[in-house]
Amino acid sequence: MMIALRLFLSSAAFTAVLGTSYWFVAHDPAGTVLLGFMTAALLVIAAYMFVAERNAGLFADNENAAPADAHGERIGVFVLHSPAPFWIGVAVAGLMLGLIVAPAAAGLGLIALCFLGALMIVRSR
Amino acid sequence: MHGPSWPLGGSTQASALAQDWVIFTCGALGLAALVWGLIIFAAIRFRQTKNNPEPRTQNANNTALEIAWTIAPLVIVIGLFAYTYHIEAGVEALAADAPVRVSVTGFRWGWTFAYGGGPAITGNSLHPPELVLPVGETAAVTVTSSDVIHSFWIPDMLFKRDAVPGRTSTFDLTPNRLGTYIGRCGEFCGLNHALMTFTVRVVSPEDYARWRTYEATQ
Amino acid sequence: MIAPPERHDVLSWFTSTDHKRVGILYMGTSLLFLLVAGLLAMLIRTQLARPDATLLGPEAYNAVFTLHGTAMIFLVIAPFGFGLANYLIPLQIGAPDMAFPRLNATSFWIFLFGGLTVFAGAATNDGAAASGWTAYAPLSEITVSAGTGQDMWIVGVAMVSVASIAACVNFVTTAFVLRAPGMTMWRLPIFTWEMIATSLLVFMAFPSLTATLLLLFVDRHFGGHAFDPAYGGSPILYQHLFWFFGHPEVYVMILPYFGVISEVIATFSGRPIFGYTGMVLAAFAIAGLSMGVWAHHMFTTGAVNDPFFSFVSFLIAVPTGIKFFNWIGTMWGGSIRYTTAMWYALGFLMNFLLGGVTGVMVASPPVDFQARDSYFLVAHFHYTLGGGSFFALFAAIYYWWPKVFGWFLDERLGKIGFALTFLGFNLTFMPMFFMGLFGMSRRVFTYPNTGALPGLNLVASIGAAFMLAGAIVFIANVVVSARRKVPAGDNPWHGYTLEWATTSPPPEHNFDSLPPIRSSRPLWNVEHPEAPQPP
């Protein structure tokens, strides 16, 4: 995980340099803001990785690990089938098309979206 | 007026631009020929045959080589940048006191050429307008648009500048060759973008003066 | 735990969250969009074969090239890469599935509905969007493009944008967290690394696209004036926001395919990829630098700092060159087997090289002053995305098809198809460099019957006919091979990465057992226990 952390930190450092030099060379607010947001986003991700994953101790990162070492490790719930993704797609499409065609459809889509999202969260407990 | 073919040039800026084209084309094709050659050589030399049934080696590292092919291209592109910067600075330089001033406005789908202290020539795809310029004298051209983005492009002179609504942009054009050159719109602007042509007629300074006098009476 | 038996009914494809199914859905859908976008291209080339042709008037033509570009970029090249990543990443890292299977499937359905929405614009009164895939303001504003088709375009692309971000969240999380024991980051296959770099680009660039589309929509329907100069807005702002997304997007469209080429060349040369570390670092160098070049699409506006963007654009050539040398180095000293996939990889190398060096050319503003928005530029980006990504896409199809379906695509038909496509591609796009230099604008529905343009355009259109023939041969290949179903076995190409360590097709949970992982080529270590690490 340290590699991942280093990846995000070095990317943030790079874009900070890029953004700073861009401002001093071009004095363009639009591009500078965009690069600034990018740096901030990378730092946020890096911060999360540092706080949440620094003690991850993955078997994957152990060069000499054998597959059997991870036997019995609970890595999560892998759902193979779920109706939610398709209907969430429909709801999103309804929401977006509703913005063009009819706000009512957008409202319905939004409600459907919230319902499906809640359903997915509840069923994964 | 010759049809679309090898650009004629026709301005001092175009000479510099053409030089840049030549340098970069030779560089690009030269580099491409080298790498194509390596690819084709490797593709043929190391194909699987009775004499080459297995790879000769599983060695996949050569740090010295990798450093070399990082440093060398870096040096080359820095050199190319320095050259480009020099050429562009020359092309985009603005004369302090240009004898001719033209304000170009693009619209859907034609052009208006408004000469400083002179006539305004308008035309569209049915009757393309003509920009008359004196040879050997610098024209300060300012482009803008009255609706969507267009682009003032003279292919023979290797140059275009976008005509953006709400802002103006100025460049110098110093024709150095008599003749008539086709101009096109270089930014998609809708239905008749393909038909938004104009012409640039470069005449002697005397003919230009006569044309200005004539236009003043219109 | 006993898993329920794998379902194969039609309905199961609508509810499946298995990364392999989602990958197949993505790739199959993008190939269908490719068919449509390709037919649109045939329309374009038929119209442009002769000057002053009347097959398509300007209204229809403008919608045709808008849909062609939008589809190829948003609905074909990038999504096929996402689909391939979906299928391959868990297999290459030894995981049973993606980290977020339901999010994964959701991203596919949103992508599908977004793509259909874009095309549904063609059924509206004023037709589909017709302001180009770039939809510059003010051309795309409500005052100029009043039709609903433009709104459908905005909304559809926004959906694809959101779906792409969701897909890439999965790729990165899965690659970081679900690697099998011993699969350290520095043992990941190059394809997986390229997808990590691609995902970072998507995270950084696509939000700008979504924001730009939102601003455009607000301008059009809610009284916004972000891009309207009459109210203090700026068309240049649109271009900054759009290209901040738009340039990284082209790297999103090439990095996965760099990964494909690395895998294909390594396997068929029988050697490890040369300069593994350099390849990985170059991928991130390209990704990082690509975030700083966006305004090289704006050199002709006179509104941006040309030297900054020119310099960074030149710099990108360096890591790209490193990759090229590494690919040649992989072939060097190998024993190259010329399967169809390897032919497509070779075609990629030959084509993308020209695309790349012409990219260095247009990174020079003086060249760009002529080339921008001319057919020179059309040639450049088709050589990189067509000659590059598209060829690598077919290399990927021929390479991984046996793994996905368990049977081979016919090799002889494949090579015939390659030859037709390679010939057709170069016939079509090589003349365009000259067309542009000679003064032909892009996005034009016709051109005058003078000079060299009629001849060059005719050659280009003949090339397109060859590419069509290549496409027909491919479809015939699929049909013929599906009937024969020549079984492929676990590892038909003698590859060394983990996806070849399971059956073809893999079981639902991917691996019944994993080999110990001691390098970036685990199956090499299994085959050669006496050589603990490849040199």
Domain ranges of chain A: 2-63, 84-123
Q: Average pLDDT for residues C109-134, to the nearest whole number?
A: 95
Strands B100-107 and B110-115, bridge-based pairing: antiparallel
What 3-state DSSP class applies to B145?
Answer: strand
**pLDDT tens track for C151-201:** 999 999 999 999 999 999 999 999 999 999 999 999 999 999 999 999 999
| The pLDDT of residue C391 is above 70 | yes
Q: Is pLDDT at B200 greater than 90 in this prediction?
A: yes
- C-beta atoms of C535 and B7 within 8 A: no
| pLDDT exceeds 90 at position A113 | no
Q: Identify the pLDDT of residue C363.
A: 97
Residue C108 to residue C140: CA distance in whole angstroms: 28
Find, among C257, C279, C260, C259, the residue nearest to C389 by Cα.
Answer: C257
Cis preceding-peptide flag for C138 (omega within 30 of 0): yes
The CATH number of B1-60+94-218 is: 2.60.40.420
Of C325, C434, C430, residue with least CA distance to C371: C434
Tell me what the pLDDT averaged over chain B comes to: 96
Mean model confidence pLDDT for chain C: 96
Which residue's structure tokens are 């020359």? B90
Q: Give CA separation, C181 vs A55, A59, C502, C515, in Å.
A: 16, 5, 17, 10
Residues of C with Cβ-Cβ distance to A69 under 8 angstroms: 181
Interface B:A, ≥3 CB–CB pairs < 8 Å: no
> Would you state the structure tokens that stand for residue A70, as one six-digit string?
């991870």
pLDDT for B136 beyond 80: yes
User: If you average pLDDT over residues C445-465, what whole number do you get?
Assistant: 96
* 8 Å CB contact of B58 and C271: yes
**Predicted confidence (pLDDT) at residue B104 exceeds the cutoff of 70:** yes
Only one residue has tokens 């399967």, namely: C339
Neighbours of C71 (CB within 10 A): 24
Q: Is the pLDDT of residue A123 over 90?
A: no
Closest listed residue to residue C400, CA positions, set C301, C295, C488: C488
What is the rounded distance in angstroms from the CA atom of residue C511 to the CA atom of residue C125? 52
Q: What are the respective helix, strand and coil percentages of chain B, to the nearest 5?
A: 40, 30, 30
Report pLDDT for A8: 95
Rama region for C447: left / alpha / beta (φ>0; ψ in -120 to 50; rest): beta
Nearby residues of C60 by Cβ (< 8 Å), 6 or more positions away: C127
- Residue C160 to residue C210: CA distance in whole angstroms: 10
Distance from the C134 Cα atom to the nearest Cα atom in chain B, whole angstroms? 10
Band (pLDDT 50/70/90 cuts) for residue C535 is very low
Residues of C in contact with B158 (CB under 8 A): 366, 369-370
Residue with tokens 């990958």: C23
Interface partners of chain B (CB pairs < 8 Å, 3 or more) are: C
Q: How far apart are CA A42 and CA A13, in angstroms?
A: 9
Question: Which residue type is seen at B127?
Answer: H
Question: Across the interface, which of C17, C284, C305 has its CB nearest the CB of A82?
Answer: C17
Contact C314 B80 (CB under 8 A): yes
Report the residue from A59, A67, A84 with minimal CB separation from C102. A84
Yes or no: say if C204 and A39 are a contact pair by the CB < 8 Å rule. no
Cβ C427 vs Cβ C383: under 8 Å: no
> How far is C170 from chain B, CA to nearest CA, in Å?
31
Query: Which whole number is the average pLDDT over C25-39?
Result: 98
Q: How far apart are CA C161 and CA C255, in angstroms?
A: 18
Residues 6+ apart with CB under 8 A from B8: B2, B156, B177, B179, B181
SS3 for B187?
Answer: coil
Q: What count of residues does chain C have?
A: 535
Mean pLDDT of C141-146: 94
Between strands B198-203 and B130-134, the pairing is: parallel
**Residue B120 vs residues B100, B193, C82, C500: alpha-carbon distances, Å:** 14, 22, 55, 72
Chain C positions in Cβ-Cβ contact with residue B184 (cut-off 8 Å) = 439, 441
- Distance (Å) from the alpha carbon of C263 to chain B's nearest alpha carbon: 14
Confidence at residue C532, expressed as pLDDT on a 0 to 100 scale: 60
**DSSP, residue by residue, C434-498:** HHHHTTPBSS-S---S-TTHHHHHHHHHHHHHHHHHHHHHHHHHHHHHHHH--B--S-TT---SG
Work out the average pLDDT over A109-119: 83
- Has residue A59 got a pLDDT over 90? no
pLDDT for B35-63, tens place per residue?
A: 999 999 999 999 999 999 999 999 999 99
Q: Spell out the alpha helix ranges (H) of C52-147.
A: 58-70, 78-93, 101-120
ipTM here: 0.97
Percent of chain C residues topping a pLDDT of 90? 96
Sheet holding B159-163, edge to edge: B130-134, B198-203, B179-185, B150-154, B159-163
DSSP 8-state code for residue B48: -
Q: Are C336 and C269 in contact (CB under 8 A)?
A: yes
| pTM across the whole model | 0.96
What pairs with residue B185 in β-bridges? B152
Which residues in chain B have Cβ-Cβ distances shorter than 8 Å to C383? none
Nearest-angstrom CA–CA distance, B129 and B198: 5
Q: Which of A61, A99, B24 is nearest to C360 (CA)?
A: B24
How far apart (Å, rounded) are the C-alpha atoms in residues C193 and C89? 10
Is C328 in contact with B38 (Cβ distance < 8 A)?
yes
Q: What is the pLDDT of residue C349?
A: 98
Burial status of residue A51 (CB atoms within 10 A of its CB: 0-12, 13-18, 19 or more): exposed
Tell me what the mean pLDDT of segment C34-48 comes to: 98
C131 to chain B, any CB pair closer than 8 A? The answer is yes
Which residues have C-beta within 8 Å of that of residue A74, sequence separation ≥ 6? none
Residue B27's φ and ψ, nearest 5 degrees, are -60, -45
Task: Kindly tell me if the per-residue pLDDT of C260 is higher than 60.
Answer: yes
Domain boundary assignment for chain B: 1-60+94-218
Nearest by CB: C241 against A22, A30, A67: A30
Distance of residue C416 Cα from the nearest chain B Cα, in angstroms: 19
Residue type, C157: V
Which among C233, C332, C372 is the nearest to B160, CB-wise?
Answer: C372
Q: In terms of CATH architecture, what is C16-527? A: Up-down Bundle (1.20)
